[in-house]
Chains A and B, each alone.
Chain A
Amino acid sequence: MTDLTRLSAAQLAEKLSSREVSAVEAVQAHLDRIGEVDPAINAFLHVNTDEALRVASEVDKERSIGDAMHPLAGVPIAVKDLIVTKGQPTTAGSKILEGWHSPYDATVVRRLRDARMPILGKTNLDEFAMGSSTEHSAYGPTRNPWDLDRIPGGSGGGSAAAVAAFEAPLALGTDTGGSIRQPGAVTGTVGVKPTYGGVSRYGAIAMASSLDQIGPVTRTVLDAALLHEVIGGHDPHDSTSLTDPVGALVEAARNADVKGMRIGVIKELQGEGYQDGVQARFNEALDLLRQAGANVVEVSCPNFKYALGAYYLIMPSEASSNLAKYDGVRFGMRVVPDGAPTIERVMGATRAAGFGDEVKRRIILGTYALSAGYYDAYYGSAQKVRTLIQRDFDAAFTQADVLISPTAPTTAFKLGEKLDDPLAMYLNDVATIPANMAGVPGISVPGGLADGLPVGVQFLAPARQDARLYRAGAALESLLEDTWGGPLLAQAPEIAGVK
């Protein structure tokens, strides 16, 4: 029998709907795989065994009596532990939420449940999604399935690693500055940050509200489109949610063709600072696209060089306010110091004990940037940069249908390598941040290997034109797989210590 964990979500869905495979078998296969490899990977913070099997068995029953089912019914999924789920813990990778259970489901989780997709569990992340390596999780780092000594990217390293290690065919991530796309790049998986407002944020624990977006983490572009259509679309609980229909994304992924498509290479997001192997794979991808009939042009986005700096003002500013609620009063950890425990001291002690260093660093940065007398110079200026970045995108999209760049400047680095150098860590997101600043959608697709480690290629599209990402992404995926003779992940080594 085929190893069910090696199937794409689309393939698995087909076998489920033809009843060749039962949902219980599919879920059990993934639970077995998690049991086998997760001790080495640490992608999961919580495995939702009983509920996943119960939902699967319900799906099997419903299907057996001929009920009309969602195409992905019975296809299991992992959920980043920044997204709240009823009946399971949600930690945001932080001690401060240890043991907390949400009384409500995030909108995306409700949509997964409506589609009857069993939730395998909650995946690891940098605390409150603050990081690019998943090393800032309070529950230990996640390891990259390609090399256990290396990071899986971040903040959504858990979701990317779970998908790359065949522990789940699908996962949800969140992307504030690249937390879906950069892990996708360094684990050889697909990650999509939808248009801002395209997927409801209700129930995604906020880091930076104006930048955060939930999106799919998968192994194929088609799978990402299938999942995107499940979670996308208007939600009255999210005021920033777009009212547009989610769009024909699956159709776009199936219609993979770049013939005549204008693809703009962003001049500022390559060359210096980009690892040689990353640049080489990127250039090869451009050649393939050209050969397939794409019209590859160069575009300039001169203000992108300010994006990282502006991001590190806006993101911490919003985060400092969003994280104020973690104070020990209503939920989560409460530390009562010795002596007279005034509310101020309880709040202080709780936050001191509950938050990790990177979270504290960003809260302090943000508090400072919003302070009276500094607001205009920092937050105000950063917002102006944001406008300039939007204008760069607007101009670039007059010359190109989609833009292209490497997703991350380097392949996966070693655990601990950049832990003491926040600025080096922040640079990982230099190519992904502009999309968040402008609210435009982006996708990272596997671009090959450099020194045996995955490289990602990023496409960006205008806001609300997510379908273009799927069309271009699926085309490149198909062109590359032809050169590799199959999916990139087929080249991944067996996970060390696992037979």
Chain B
Amino acid sequence: MTTATAEILSFEEAMEKFDPVLGFEVHVELNTRTKMFSSAPNAFGDTPNTNVTPVDLGLPGVLPVINRVAVESSIKIGLALGCKIAEKCHFARKNYFYPDTPKNFQTSQYDEPIAYDGSIDIELADGTVFTVEIERAHMEEDAGKLTHMGGATGRIQGAEFSLVDYNRAGVPLVEIVTKPIVGAGERAPELAKAYVAAIREIVKNLGVSDARMERGNVRCDANVSLKPKGQEKFGTRTETKNVNSLRAVEHAVRYEIQRHAAVLDGGGTITQETRHWHEDTRSTTAGRPKSDADDYRYFPEPDLVPVVTDDAWIEKLRSELPEPPAARRKRLQTDWGYADAEFRDVVNAGVMDSIEETIAAGVKPATARKWWMGEISRRAKVAEVEPAELGVTPALIVELQGLIDAGKINDKLSREVLDGVLAGEGTPTEVVAQRGLEVVSDDGALLEAIDGALAAQPDVADKIRGGKLQAVGAIVGGVMKATRGQADAGRVRQLILERLGVEG
């Protein structure tokens, strides 16, 4: 259900009058083998209600048991966010009735999160760095998935009935909560996107989550409030729920800033509530009123004993942490010798990993960049996929580049070879053979073509004889045309000069 779009102020005007304050709650689904409190598989996309045990269905008599790997993953996230790790923490019950929650309470950490007081540096596209303070990262379990049937919109309003799939119920989650983020100003929407992207990158890099936003592995609730320029006190916030793509995070924050600004500018007040994000209209609508006094009757989960950590355990986990993404980027840029702008483009294009693998396979950094930022990115754009999803492997690039370096094909032919490989015609060498794409290296055949080209453009030939060497290009072009591009342009140039008795 999408209701009429609310009044909004232009972003520029909003920024003239107000300072935005942001806050994020990002839920990360862990990729543990089993669920948070049961031995059921933690897997996406299976037949509904098959990955369940009596525990996940909340049957009478069941008890939860904490997944140790999930705790370790949570600690790793905490460490990667620079958090302190609690020596002892417990779970609580968050009581509310809803059919996606089998026990009608969610087992979650409340007043004692596993990790707290951290921060991460967020680098924006132009290199500006914002430090975002992390309040806490706590463990909890996911709910099941409701599908509302019979209505026009798929929402509960107007539905005739609802189906519930408990495969997701009990999947381990880590909820990462920021402190209020002030001072982002007009860069707030960009920062929002960059923050979520950074969290996604960190958990993916840690290997603790598949981090696929389209599957809900990373879900963002974005809090926005505005305060008039110069005011210290925060305004009333809204929480836009489940904004599940990076682009949507940016748009939702921008929209809410504009909407708040219009309301406040018109003398109105912001209602503290949740908002739903609509991708189609790029706008939000009101959800349920939310107050700080929502009564979930939290109390310590009596079926679980506290999670107790010790230094040895934490240090062992710390030693297992991979290199942080920001440090890795710095190292790779230095190793590869890319300029700042070049490297940023590589990062923004999402091809850094691919380039790293390609270089590791034996391709020079500059060449690897040329491939990934050039031909492959171009193709990805046409196909509307990520470059890494095209199916171009480092080994393939090694082989193609090898053929070019050996003079067997040229750059232009390499694109055709790539076509053939991606069309499943075989390896580059096989495609070259089958399509007959090899560069003409028979001087006899080339000379024949050169003679033809010279005869066709006698005036050019004269210019060359007269010492105007830049005119050679026109003859080379003629030869390339005659050989349908299958000639080595360098060799052709050399032969033309020899033919005309001119020193190159």
Count residues of chain A with CB under 8 A from any CB of chain B: 44
Interface membership of chain B positions 98-142, coded 1 if the CB is closer than 8 angstroms to chain A and 0 otherwise: 110011110000000000000000000000000000000000000
A372 CA to B298 CA, complexed, in Å: 9
> A367 touches which one: B66, B297, B298 (CB < 8 A)?
B297
B61 contacts A106, C-beta separation under 8 Å: yes
B473 within 8 Å of A by Cβ? no
> B95 touches which one: A92, A210, A321 (CB < 8 A)?
A321
A371 within 8 Å of B by Cβ? yes
A202 contacts B63, C-beta separation under 8 Å: yes
A187 CA to B101 CA, complexed, in Å: 42
What is the chain B residue whose CB lies nearest that of A211?
B302
| Nearest chain A CB to B194 CB, angstrom units | 36
A339 within 8 Å of B by Cβ? no
B residues near A102, Cβ cutoff 8 Å: 54, 59-61
| Nearest chain A CB to B398 CB, angstrom units | 50
A325 contacts B302, C-beta separation under 8 Å: no
B304 within 8 Å of A by Cβ? yes
A318 contacts B302, C-beta separation under 8 Å: yes
A159 within 8 Å of B by Cβ? no
What is the chain A residue whose CB lies nearest that of B295?
A372
A349 CA to B339 CA, complexed, in Å: 68
A306 within 8 Å of B by Cβ? no
A residues near B304, Cβ cutoff 8 Å: 239-240
B65 within 8 Å of A by Cβ? yes
A203 contacts B293, C-beta separation under 8 Å: no
What is the chain B residue whose CB lies nearest that of A82?
B61
B residues near A497, Cβ cutoff 8 Å: none
A367 CA to B93 CA, complexed, in Å: 13
| Nearest chain A CB to B54 CB, angstrom units | 5
> A325 touches which one: B60, B162, B305 (CB < 8 A)?
B60
> B60 touches which one: A84, A329, A367, A371 (CB < 8 A)?
A84
A242 CA to B435 CA, complexed, in Å: 73
| Nearest chain B CB to A47 CB, angstrom units | 21
A386 CA to B111 CA, complexed, in Å: 21
B residues near A205, Cβ cutoff 8 Å: 60-61
A370 contacts B299, C-beta separation under 8 Å: yes
B58 within 8 Å of A by Cβ? yes
B residues near A379, Cβ cutoff 8 Å: 299
A residues near B102, Cβ cutoff 8 Å: 325, 330
Q: For A318, A325, A347, A370, which residue has the most chain B Cβ atoms within 10 angstroms?
A: A325
A204 contacts B61, C-beta separation under 8 Å: yes
B residues near A209, Cβ cutoff 8 Å: 302-303
A204 CA to B62 CA, complexed, in Å: 8
B residues near A372, Cβ cutoff 8 Å: 293, 295, 297
A residues near B62, Cβ cutoff 8 Å: 202-203
A residues near B216, Cβ cutoff 8 Å: none
A237 within 8 Å of B by Cβ? yes
**For chain A residues 209-250, which have a beta carbon within 8 Å of chain B?**
209-210, 236-240
What is the chain A residue whose CB lies nearest that of B54?
A104
Q: A239-B66, A324-B95, A371-B295 are in contact. Are A203 and B61 (CB under 8 A)?
A: yes
B103 contacts A325, C-beta separation under 8 Å: yes
| Nearest chain B CB to A464 CB, angstrom units | 16
A100 CA to B297 CA, complexed, in Å: 29
| Nearest chain A CB to B48 CB, angstrom units | 13
> A347 touches which one: B64, B93, B97, B164 (CB < 8 A)?
B97
A103 within 8 Å of B by Cβ? yes
A residues near B302, Cβ cutoff 8 Å: 208-210, 240, 318
Interface membership of chain B positions 285-302, coded 1 if the CB is closer than 8 angstroms to chain A and 0 otherwise: 000000001010111001
Chain B, interface size category, equals 20 to 34
| Nearest chain B CB to A368 CB, angstrom units | 10
A375 contacts B299, C-beta separation under 8 Å: yes
A residues near B103, Cβ cutoff 8 Å: 324-325
B59 contacts A331, C-beta separation under 8 Å: yes
A343 contacts B61, C-beta separation under 8 Å: no
Interface SS of A by simple majority: loop
A421 within 8 Å of B by Cβ? no
Q: For B103, B303, B304, B305, which residue has the most chain A Cβ atoms within 10 angstroms?
A: B303
A344 within 8 Å of B by Cβ? yes
A206 within 8 Å of B by Cβ? yes
B residues near A84, Cβ cutoff 8 Å: 59-61
B263 within 8 Å of A by Cβ? no
A317 within 8 Å of B by Cβ? yes
A327 within 8 Å of B by Cβ? yes
B57 within 8 Å of A by Cβ? yes
A237 CA to B293 CA, complexed, in Å: 35
B residues near A237, Cβ cutoff 8 Å: 63, 65
Interface membership of chain B positions 59-102, coded 1 if the CB is closer than 8 angstroms to chain A and 0 otherwise: 11111111000000000000000000000000001010111001
A268 CA to B297 CA, complexed, in Å: 34
| Nearest chain B CB to A374 CB, angstrom units | 10
A370 contacts B95, C-beta separation under 8 Å: yes
B residues near A370, Cβ cutoff 8 Å: 95, 297-299
A residues near B60, Cβ cutoff 8 Å: 84, 90, 92, 97, 100, 102, 205, 325-326, 331
Interface membership of chain A positions 384-422, coded 1 if the CB is closer than 8 angstroms to chain B and 0 otherwise: 000000000000000000000000000000000000000
A201 within 8 Å of B by Cβ? yes
A83 within 8 Å of B by Cβ? yes
B65 contacts A324, C-beta separation under 8 Å: no
B residues near A92, Cβ cutoff 8 Å: 60
| Nearest chain B CB to A255 CB, angstrom units | 33
A residues near B298, Cβ cutoff 8 Å: 370, 375
A344 CA to B104 CA, complexed, in Å: 12
A165 CA to B299 CA, complexed, in Å: 42
A205 CA to B59 CA, complexed, in Å: 9
What is the chain B residue whose CB lies nearest that of A200?
B63
Interface membership of chain A positions 308-327, coded 1 if the CB is closer than 8 angstroms to chain B and 0 otherwise: 00000000011011001111
A residues near B64, Cβ cutoff 8 Å: 239
A208 CA to B302 CA, complexed, in Å: 8
B residues near A208, Cβ cutoff 8 Å: 302
Q: A209-B303, A210-B302, A370-B297 are in contact. Are A83 and B61 (CB under 8 A)?
A: yes
Q: For B62, B65, B66, B93, which residue has the most chain A Cβ atoms within 10 angstroms?
A: B62
> A240 touches which one: B54, B293, B305 (CB < 8 A)?
B305
Q: For A92, A210, A326, A370, which residue has the most chain B Cβ atoms within 10 angstroms?
A: A370
B residues near A324, Cβ cutoff 8 Å: 95, 97, 103-105
| Nearest chain A CB to B53 CB, angstrom units | 8
B63 contacts A343, C-beta separation under 8 Å: no
A residues near B104, Cβ cutoff 8 Å: 324-325, 327
B residues near A239, Cβ cutoff 8 Å: 63-66, 303-305
A344 CA to B105 CA, complexed, in Å: 15
A370 CA to B99 CA, complexed, in Å: 22
A480 CA to B202 CA, complexed, in Å: 71
A residues near B58, Cβ cutoff 8 Å: 325, 330
Q: A321-B105, A324-B97, A347-B97 are in contact. Are A238 and B63 (CB under 8 A)?
A: yes
A84 CA to B61 CA, complexed, in Å: 7
Q: A104-B54, A372-B293 are in contact. Are A321 and B63 (CB under 8 A)?
A: no
A residues near B305, Cβ cutoff 8 Å: 239-240
A367 CA to B61 CA, complexed, in Å: 21
| Nearest chain B CB to A45 CB, angstrom units | 15
**For chain A residues 148-207, which have a beta carbon within 8 Å of chain B?**
201-206
What is the chain A residue whose CB lies nearest that of B293?
A372
A97 CA to B105 CA, complexed, in Å: 20
A residues near B164, Cβ cutoff 8 Å: 329
What is the chain B residue whose CB lies nearest that of A326?
B60
7 interchain residue pairs of minimum CB distance? A324-B104, A370-B297, A209-B302, A210-B302, A203-B61, A205-B60, A84-B61
Known contacts A324-B104, A372-B297; can you find 4 more A-B pairs with CB under 8 A? A103-B59, A104-B61, A320-B297, A330-B102
Question: B residues within 8 Å of A by Cβ?
Answer: 54, 57-66, 93, 95, 97-99, 102-105, 162, 164, 293, 295, 297-299, 302-305
Could you show 8 A-B contacts with beta carbons less than 8 Å apart?
A90-B60, A90-B61, A102-B54, A104-B59, A209-B303, A239-B63, A325-B58, A326-B60
